Structures are given as C-alpha cells and as structure tokens.
C-alpha cells in the first residue's frame, strides 16, 4: 500500500505527542525533522533528568513491567529497603467535644435578694470558694442583729451568774436566786449558738461572726461563692436582678474542665467491639498531630433509625484546658491486637486504573519492576502491605505515580 508524505508526517506528529506526554519536551529545545521519527526527551523532575536511553529517556520494558533509570533519576525516586511497622487495629468515628456535664454545677443564690456586684464573667477560671456575686438580703441583716443581741445577753447573764455565786457564798442570796442566774446564763449560751448557726447557713465563718459581734455592725450584703474549681461556662446575672433559690436560669454555671466529653456517633456494626472503660484516643482538628487520651464512660442504649448509629460518650483528659465545646474531633479506639507488617510510604504505592495497588521494586542495578501488592491499613503516612512484598526488598518510596504514568504512556 502506498503511503504519501503527508500521512507519514501526520503519523510522526502523533507519535511525538505520545512521547511528549510521557517524557516532557524535546531535549534542548530541538525539534524533529519533518517526516522523521521523534527522539525521546529528558523527563524533568525537580532539577534532575530521567532516563539512561539515548536522549535521556526512561528505558521501558512493557513485557518485563520494568523501567531502567539513569543514576540521577534513581536517586530522586528515593529507593529504600522495606521496613516493618506496628499497625493498630482500630475503628474511627467523628464527633465533637462538650463539657463534662457530670462535673458542671449551677450556682444559685441561697436566699432571695437583688444582685449588687458581679466578680466573674463567662470564660473565667475560678477557684473553689471564690466570690461570684453578691446580693442584698434582708434576712441576713436580721440574723446578724440576733447574733449581736444574743452575744450581749450572754455577756449580761454571765456577769449576773458570777455575782449570784459570790453573794450565795456569803449568804447574800438564796439558792433559788443562784439557780435562776445559772439558768439565764445557760439559756443565753443556747441563744448565741443558735444565732451563730443561723449565720453559718448564710456562709458566714466564725471569724466573720466574731467581727460582727466585736464591731456591733451589721451588713446585709451576702456573697455567693463558687462550689468547685473550674471555668465559668454561663453567666445570666446582672446588677439589680432579683434572684431567689432555684430560679432559672441559674445566675452562674461552673464546670470542672480538667476532663471533657467526646460525643461520637459510632456505626452499629462497631457496637460489639465497644465496652465501658475502653481506652480511646481523640484527634482534635484544632491540634493536628496531637492525641488526647480518655476512656469510654457511656454507650448509647438505642440506635438512631435514620443514621444507624449510636452515641458513645468518652471522658477525655484535658489538664491544660485546651479543649473547647463544639470542637470537631475524631474518635479512635483499638479493637484488636497490634499487627506487625511491611510498610511503605503512601507516595510509594499507586492505585492503578483497574483498582489494583502496585509498588516499584528495585530488582537489579537501577531497574524498577512494577509489582502488584495487597494493602491494609494506612497510619502515620505509611501503607500496610499484607502480601506481595517482603521486608528488606528495595522500593521507590517517592513519586511512584510518576513512574506508573510514564510506563503506561510509553507502553501504548
């Protein structure tokens, strides 16, 4: 069959396009002569070149599934021995961080009154016993007045008893008068104890009560203190607001943030693998590369019929108070023994068009042979190899996808 020059030129141009797609551009900017076969060019990767064939091209053997590299290119693909790595058999689920509601306390005013001053705002860290707010309480004023009165009465009856005892010794008073003085003094002691106990209900200390008695000064201002050490998670108080015991919303809410909750929605198929007390690792997107440790404290009693998932609650340790409610997190839990297997960096494994996974193995000199492998887990930037590769074999650990693309283009 006779082929004219135009057809031959068209065929040569088509072949050139294929080689350019595989290897890059014509070497040194040269162009092929019209009607001549294209010459393979150097393939650029970084500042180096690939290929030990004439013109610097990769030497490809489709039958042997191999590629021969130049010394410079061989170094750039970072060919290293395959090592072994421990892979954790674990499950993952997404969720979010929340306060530990079991360690969250609503702080109410113990008595009715109007708020005078506020001493903490939302987000503040407070110690146990720190004053959160003060209220004006008339009942406190009355209780302090009774304390002063009871203390004065006890002082009078004590002196009267002492005088009666002295007079009785010289027969200046009768036994009846002495007994009455003793009874009055004992009654005054009881009234004083009752007055002090009443003030303890308001949170007054013995030192504060002694000061009230000594100064004969009453104060209707009642301080409300934090019952725990933690963080103010909500504040609904304002000066002048009238509050009373049990009124909602509570003026303040304080939460212990040394531990937080991780709420994860776990697939029902993973339910048999979970148990209370199981150790978990929580990966929070706000802190990449870090894991927070905790354990499962509650497993949901029912499965959501729409999502086919159940809620799992874990208690996560947060000693530095870095976690915040609403943060997106990933729940990781070990469900099996650690498996030790050959491992290859993710950049050294290629998913081919037919779905098979391949690596490029260094068999001799600077030759790389494509080999199919069976893969498993991916952890810490490494791919678990279940079959097809042994520890110690040398593989290309970088840009394996480039090798596969070049091989496929050159084999057409």
pLDDT digits (tens, 9 = 90+) for 173-216: 888 888 999 999 999 999 999 999 998 888 788 898 999 999 88
Per-chain mean pLDDT for the chain: 81
Alpha helices in 54-137 (DSSP H): 71-76
Same fold yes or no, 74-88+338-410 and 91-101+255-334: no
Q: Which two tokens stand for residue 167?
A: 């007079």
74-88+338-410 has which fold? 2.40.420
pLDDT at res. 107:
93
Say whether 54 sits in a helix, a strand or coil. helix
138-219 has which fold? Helix Hairpins (1.10.287)
Instruction: For residues 372 and 404, give the distance between their C-alpha atoms in angstroms, rounded to a whole number.
Output: 12
Q: Each residue of 361-378: pLDDT tens digit?
A: 988 888 888 899 998 878
pLDDT at res. 159:
92
Give strand pairing partners of 279.
Answer: 295
Q: Which two tokens stand for residue 237?
A: 């108080």
pLDDT at res. 58:
62
Q: Where are the domains of the chain?
A: 1-39, 74-88+338-410, 91-101+255-334, 138-219
Q: Which two tokens stand for residue 120?
A: 């903490």
- The ranges of the chain with pLDDT < 50 are 1-56
* Reported CATH class of domain 91-101+255-334: mainly beta
> Smallest Cα–Cα separation from 253: which of 277, 264, 237?
237
Question: Hey, what's the torsion of the CAs at 141, 143, 147, 152, to 10 degrees?
Answer: 70
Chain centroid to CA 266: 17
pLDDT at res. 396:
87
Measured from the Cβ of residue 131, the count of other Cβ atoms closer than 10 Å reads: 14
pLDDT at res. 62:
66
Say whether 298 sits in a helix, a strand or coil. strand
């Amino acid at each position: 069959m006779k082929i004219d020059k135009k057809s031959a030129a068209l065929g040569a141009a088509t072949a050139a396009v294929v080689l350019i797609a595989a290897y890059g551009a014509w070497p040194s900017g040269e162009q092929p002569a019209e009607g001549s076969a294209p010459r393979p060019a150097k393939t650029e990767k970084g500042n180096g070149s690939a290929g030990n064939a004439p013109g610097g091209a990769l030497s490809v053997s489709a039958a042997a599934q191999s590629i021969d590299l130049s010394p410079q290119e061989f170094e750039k693909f970072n060919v290293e021995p395959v090592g072994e790595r421990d892979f954790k058999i674990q499950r993952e689920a997404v969720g979010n961080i929340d306060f530990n509601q079991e360690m969250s306390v609503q702080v109410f005013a113990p008595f009715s009154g109007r708020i005078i001053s506020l001493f903490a705002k939302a987000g503040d860290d407070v110690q146990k016993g720190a004053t959160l707010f003060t209220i004006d309480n008339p009942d406190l004023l009355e209780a302090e007045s009774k304390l002063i009165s009871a203390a004065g009465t006890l002082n009078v009856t004590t002196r009267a008893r002492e005088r009666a005892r002295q007079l009785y010794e010289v027969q200046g008073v009768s036994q009846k008068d002495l007994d009455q003085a003793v009874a009055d003094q004992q009654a005054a002691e009881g009234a004083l104890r009752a007055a002090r106990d009443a003030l303890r209900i308001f949170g007054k200390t013995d030192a504060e009560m002694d000061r009230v008695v000594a100064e004969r000064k009453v104060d209707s201002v009642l301080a409300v203190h934090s019952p725990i050490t933690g963080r103010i998670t909500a504040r609904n108080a304002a000066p002048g607001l009238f509050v009373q015991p049990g009124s909602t919303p509570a003026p303040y809410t304080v939460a212990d943030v040394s531990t937080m909750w991780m709420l994860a929605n776990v697939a029902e198929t993973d339910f048999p693998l979970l148990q209370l007390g199981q150790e978990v690792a929580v990966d929070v997107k706000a802190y990449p590369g870090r894991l927070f440790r905790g354990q499962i404290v509650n497993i949901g009693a029912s499965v959501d019929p729409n999502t086919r998932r159940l809620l799992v609650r874990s208690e996560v340790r947060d000693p530095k108070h870095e976690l915040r409610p609403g943060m997106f997190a990933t729940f990781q839990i070990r469900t099996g023994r650690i498996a030790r297997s050959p491992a290859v960096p993710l950049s050294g494994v290629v998913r081919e068009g037919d779905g098979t996974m391949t690596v490029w193995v260094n068999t001799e000199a600077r030759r790389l042979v494509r080999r199919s492998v069976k893969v498993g887990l991916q952890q810490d930037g490494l791919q678990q190899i279940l079959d097809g590769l042994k520890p110690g074999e040398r593989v290309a650990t970088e840009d394996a996808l480039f090798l596969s693309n070049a091989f496929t283009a050159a084999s057409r």
